[in-house]
A and B are shown apart, each in its own frame.
Chain A
Amino acid sequence: MPERRNFSIIAHIDHGKSTLADRLIQHSGIIADRNFRDQILDGLDLERERGITIKSQSINLPFTSRDGREFELNLIDTPGHVDFTYEVSRALASCEGVLLLVDATQGVQAQTLANLYLAMEHDLEIIPVINKIDLPSADIDMARAQIERDLGLDGENALLVSGKTGAGVEELLEAIVERIPPPKGENTDPLQALIFDAHYDPFRGAVASVRLFSGEIKAGDLMRPMAVGKAYKVEEVGVFRIIREPRPILRAGDVGYIIAGIKSVADTRVGDTITMDNNPAPKAMHGFRESKPVVFSSLYPVASDDYENLADSLERYKLNDASLVYTKDSSAALGQGFRCGFLGLLHLEIVQERLEREFDQSLILTAPSVIYRFTMEDGRTLEVDNPAHYPDPAAIRRGEEPYIRASILTPDRYMGSIMKLCLERRGVNSEIAYPSPGRMDIQFDLPLAEVIFDFYDRLKSITQGYGSFDYELLEYREGDLVKLDILVNGEKVDALSMVVHKDRARARALNACERLKDEIPRQQYKVAIQGAIGGNIIARETISAFRKDVTAKCYGGDISRKRKLLEKQKAGKKRMKMVGDIEIPQSAFIAVLKTSDDE
């Protein structure tokens, strides 16, 4: 029987994890060259479009070492973006070692360190690997020195590879089987299979990705997810080789999947342990820490009668993204929906897009919010992540909001506009460094709330796409926080309310009013759009009524045409939200989340 080695590839974003995984997969020969494509493990459309990994992905590879030993390697490619750290930590729970990649042209970066700490927490064998050595700008000595100094690892023994050319891959494979210890655990002990990921297959039900720490499992067994207390008959077990490959049995140390016809999504929980019904393990494996969301927004279906459908989709989506948290929410304007917590802005964007693409949902998102902290006159502290729960302002003694340290890498010609952007977003403590000629690293302390409001898009447009942005969370700092309401013909549109800093309230209000004016179609009567803090109107726009909205002629031939137009408009109205008797299109709720270009 082949020996096992289980490991993840971890690194800062873009350091080449998925590309190196490609070479390891190709070396194993499990996929014919004509079927191969770059970053083959990035299977989601979104991953391919954006060129980043979002989901951890495991694959089983056969390998024969130089001395003739047979292996099965379980490799997990992980995302590098900070928003998806949760994906990394779950992957690591099923491994004995990691390849810690360092881009030879970039050196050690924020997520290199963060991921190293995660690996250490899991007590894993760490193999430092210097990647992209084919590039002329590769600075191997610098990389080695940083690995020694910043990571405290043995830089001299770091492996040198190029995921692009495949250089060093043979050596790397030998090192993996040499240095990473084989999994422990006895086949004869009671089954303990940790669910570290899952997804929903419309035909087969939930597919659980598992790592077996002890015991065995095969089709026909009666298994039980320990948190559920209900037994299921196993239909199929196997390993991932891009597609699912059934196996007769999974044994202690294996990484693979289990299908047991589980249609109820709640019965497959990431972090749960699967055991045998008739011979259960004494206790479950350590699950995963709850993820801690930092950005909140409410999701509503565009057509209110799609609520049940959205509830269903969220549940299934969550199976594949355990870091999403949500609870029920409701709004007078938008009906029933969900308050969701995200690990960051990119995460929010990805969740929205995946729900729309993979689950065919049409969504309205409300303005993202951070968690604000209020100390009340009576000494209580409140944490508020939803403008609807903003407390009585008269009873607030002090408000606080989270800050981040932002680092913006940009060609130096954009410095002026970036400074302006950061300063108007209440940035402080700026620092500027010149990592290389013509490039600058601009650092700022910024309120997170300002960053989640159309900051990244603005930055991209200011720098014509050349600016990159990274951040880490700092502490909470005091701020004068008010609730801004938007009124349409005097009626408050609850879904458009937001908590903002007092200094920024008027700018935000003007922007929202202007955006709404552009998006709300003219009606038969005048529509007033106002921004207000408490009873104070601080911004106002008016949409004038139609002067004329009628076609001159209408005879026999026009009747079908006019009716068809009306049919289309009626269908469009389903996507409209009524506030009083004013129709507000979905696009208006989205538009207020963006600033206009002439800000």
Chain B
Amino acid sequence: MDANPNDNGDGFGQAPGLYVHVPFCATKCPYCAFASCTRIESAPAFRDAVLAEAARYRNRFSPFDTLYFGGGTPGFVDPAILGDIVHKLRNILAFKPDCEATIEVNPADVTADRAAAWHDMGFCRASLGAQAFDDDALRFLGRRHDASGVSEALLRLRHAGFVDIGIDLIYGLPGQTREAWRSTLRRALDAGPTHLSCYALSVEPRTPLARAVRRREAELPGESAVAALFLDTSRFLAKAGFIHYEVSNYALLDRYRSRHNVKYWRSVPTLGLGPSAHSFDGTRRWWNVRSLEAYLRRSQARISPVAASERLTDEMRRLETLAMGFRTREGVSLDVLRDGPAAEAALSRLVADGRLKIQRNRAVPTTTGFLVADSLARTFA
């Protein structure tokens, strides 16, 4: 394969990543639009189906250097079943020795035993779905844990041997003040994470949250309030030593960035297993059926779970580079921007306005550039 134009020589190489979508949750959060369900009794069938799917890709990808169990809530699944999947995947597919293995867990599922089991399976990175550190916010988000549960979960993960721990947080909740959000950030920092994901709450269609907003039962802060929180977060975490390397992601050091997620943003191949998972082999993208039932049904009938696929043209790849590139501090190579007077005028305007910087022949978004990343992509589409 050609050298990836986005590779900036940071050791996050071109090896493909493996994603496993574990579609089980204890309860469904009101804002969530991910493919997940509460029918945990299907876990064994799911295991068999994922392994069968993995077998379809034997020898089709070079050795993976990331493994990412996401969902859903992988940590909610019986560790024995989970361990079985991880163990057998290692026999079906090839992994590099320094493989980064991440598991997403919810604080409520982090018992001492489970934490130890996950570590034993080979996971070295835990992504903790804390979302907030105050009880009002957690109730609004419909989470199973409370604020003290988050801190305890972190401790247990550390005891089990996890060093690389990321915390997911959500801001922009109804009535949330800058102070309330800052105190959440402070408590998260106190726990000593290596990685932070801070997402602005977004209202996804057909979720209970969307209905509540429509009925005016929940009133979310306006665009400028959310923008202010975004900028404040970036500044606050920068002072704490965190690198704002993607719109919603912060790492304590470059090496603590999510190597797996960086593959998505750089269009490095990834294989996705499980319902709704997306894959990319460098030329084609394909994605699986979304619901667990359909996924299992296909597996039992020995039919591929792929719902559709597409071959990327050069222009499609260019658009993807724009859509992803302006979301990261790596930015977009100037060669990828359209030339012509309009693009040039827009570029110098954006530089003058402090949305973009030109660095090493790349257009790199600033923090205020991150705020309008989608429109940056549109400008040069």
Please report A residues at the B interface, Cβ cutoff 8 Å: 523-525, 546-557, 559-560, 562-563, 566-567, 569-570, 573, 578, 580-581
Contact = CB atoms under 8 A, between A and B. Distances in A.
Contact of A553 (B248, B320, B350): B248
B371 A559 contact: no
The 8 residue pairs across chains A and B that have the minimum distance between CB atoms:
A581-B345, A570-B381, A547-B227, A550-B373, A548-B227, A556-B278, A552-B199, A557-B278
A559 B287 CA distance: 11
A524 B350 contact: yes
Contact of B324 (A547, A554, A580): A554
Given A524-B372, A548-B223, A554-B324, 17 more contacts: A524-B350, A525-B353, A548-B226, A548-B227, A549-B374, A553-B202, A554-B327, A555-B264, A556-B19, A556-B277, A557-B287, A563-B320, A567-B319, A569-B378, A580-B345, A581-B345, A581-B349
Nearest to B261: A555
Interface in B260-280: 261, 264-265, 267, 270, 272, 276-280
B327 A550 contact: yes
B247 interface: yes
Interface of B: 19, 199-202, 223-224, 226-227, 230, 247-248, 261, 264-265, 267, 270, 272, 276-280, 285, 287, 310, 316, 319-320, 322-324, 327, 342, 345-346, 349-350, 353, 355, 370-379, 381
B319 A566 contact: yes
A562 B248 CA distance: 16
Contacts of A551: 202, 374
Contact of B224 (A547, A549, A557): A547
Nearest to B276: A557
Contacts of B373: 549-550
A550 B374 contact: yes
A548 B371 contact: yes
A566 B227 contact: no
A550 B202 CA distance: 11
B370 to A, nearest CB: 6
Nearest to B172: A552
Question: What is the interface of chain A mostly: helix, strand, loop, or mixed?
Answer: loop
B278 A560 contact: yes
Contacts of B379: 524
Given A550-B373, A552-B247, A559 B285 contact: yes
B277 to A, nearest CB: 7
Nearest to A550: B373
Contact of B264 (A548, A559, A570, A580): A559
Contacts of A570: 319, 378, 381
B260 to A, nearest CB: 9
Nearest to B267: A559
A559 B376 CA distance: 16
A566 B342 contact: no
A563 B276 contact: no
B5 to A, nearest CB: 16
Contact of B349 (A525, A552, A566, A567): A525
Nearest to B288: A557
Contacts of B223: 547-548
B160 to A, nearest CB: 26
A556 B70 CA distance: 11
A554 B265 CA distance: 8
Contacts of A548: 200, 223-224, 226-227, 230, 371-372
B319 A524 contact: no
A573 B379 CA distance: 9
Given A566-B377, A569-B381, A550 B277 contact: no
A212 to B, nearest CB: 58
Contacts of A567: 316, 319, 381
Contact of B342 (A550, A557, A562, A581): A581
Nearest to A522: B375
B199 A553 contact: yes
Contact of A546 (B247, B324, B375): B375
Contacts of B346: 581
A553 B267 CA distance: 16
Interface centre among A523, A551, A562, A563 (most CB of B within 10 A): A563
Contacts of B276: 557
Contacts of B285: 559-560
Contacts of A525: 349, 353
A315 B94 CA distance: 67
Nearest to B338: A570
Contacts of A523: 375
A566 B372 contact: no
Contacts of A560: 278, 285, 287, 310
Contacts of B230: 548
A212 B127 CA distance: 89
Nearest to A555: B264
Contacts of B372: 524, 546, 548-550
B202 A552 contact: yes
B353 A549 contact: no
Interface centre among B276, B310, B346, B370 (most CB of A within 10 A): B346
Contacts of A569: 378, 381
A559 B375 CA distance: 16
Contact of A550 (B264, B322, B345, B371): B371
A53 to B, nearest CB: 46
Contacts of B248: 552-553
A566 B310 contact: no
15 contacts: A546-B371, A547-B224, A548-B223, A550-B371, A550-B372, A552-B202, A554-B265, A556-B19, A556-B277, A559-B324, A562-B323, A563-B323, A567-B319, A567-B381, A569-B378
A550 B223 CA distance: 11
Contacts of A524: 349-350, 353, 355, 372, 375-376, 379
Contacts of A573: 378, 381
Contacts of B320: 559, 562-563
A550 B199 CA distance: 11
Interface centre among B278, B279, B345 (most CB of A within 10 A): B278
Contacts of A556: 19, 264, 270, 272, 277-280
A527 B375 CA distance: 15
B342 A578 contact: yes
A569 B375 CA distance: 10
Nearest to B222: A547
A549 B371 contact: yes
